[in-house]
Amino acid sequence: MLAAWEPVRAPYRALREPLIAAEGLLNGAVGSHRHRWRRLAEAVGDDQACATAVDELLAVSMTGWRLTPVNGGWRVALLPAPGTEPGELAALQGLVLLVESAGWARLRRCGQPGCVQVFLDWTNGGNRRACSVHRRSGHVNLAGSVEKFEDGGVMTGGRR
């Protein structure tokens, strides 16, 4: 399976599935390159270190690029390296497209005290504050950020 490469801007609806997969990989799901995903998760907050970690992931996850016909036009597709699951490459591609469009601020640590999860924010406004677990729980407790949650800032499940 080839993952198509195309310019992306908000809304990031099309990236939702690969970004959910990327969150899983960042938070310890089994993947071909799990130690490199962990390195990226540990680098959150240091943009240059994140870029280095992503560059390493790209280097080991893909073998090259190929033009492929799509719907009467052409797109650039990434070719997975042997041993890289297509879903893992798609996750990496989704993360790269999101960062390319909206910056490293879209890769953050959960704001729930004591939570070590990192998450990707693909909302239009980039105003998520918690990982998927604590978003769903609906009782995120962030000092100083409560109003943001109550006015709908982070509860974006219905309008991705």
Nearest distance from residue 137's CB to Zn ion, in Å?
9
Among 61, 84, 93, 117, binds Zn ion (CB under 5 A): 117
Nearest distance from residue 118's CB to Zn ion, in Å?
9
Options 1-9, 49-57, 94-102, 130-138: segment touching Zn ion (CB under 5 A):
130-138
Under 8 Å between Cβ of 141 and 135: no
Q: Give dist(CA 107, CA 111) in Å, integer.
A: 12
Is 129 a binding residue for Zn ion by CB under 5 A? The answer is no
Which is nearer to Zn ion, 110 or 155 (by Cβ)? 110
Nearest to 101 by CA among 7, 36, 3: 7
Under 8 Å between Cβ of 59 and 42: no
Q: Give dist(CA 143, CA 160) in Å, integer.
A: 25
Q: Give dist(CA 101, CA 49) in Å, integer.
A: 18
Nearest distance from residue 77's CB to Zn ion, in Å?
34
Among 110, 118, 120, 154, binds Zn ion (CB under 5 A): 110
End-to-end CA distance of the chain: 26
Is 44 a binding residue for Zn ion by CB under 5 A? The answer is no
Nearest distance from residue 40's CB to Zn ion, in Å?
17
Under 8 Å between Cβ of 95 and 120: yes
Among 8, 58, 115, 142, binds Zn ion (CB under 5 A): 115
Is 93 a binding residue for Zn ion by CB under 5 A? The answer is no
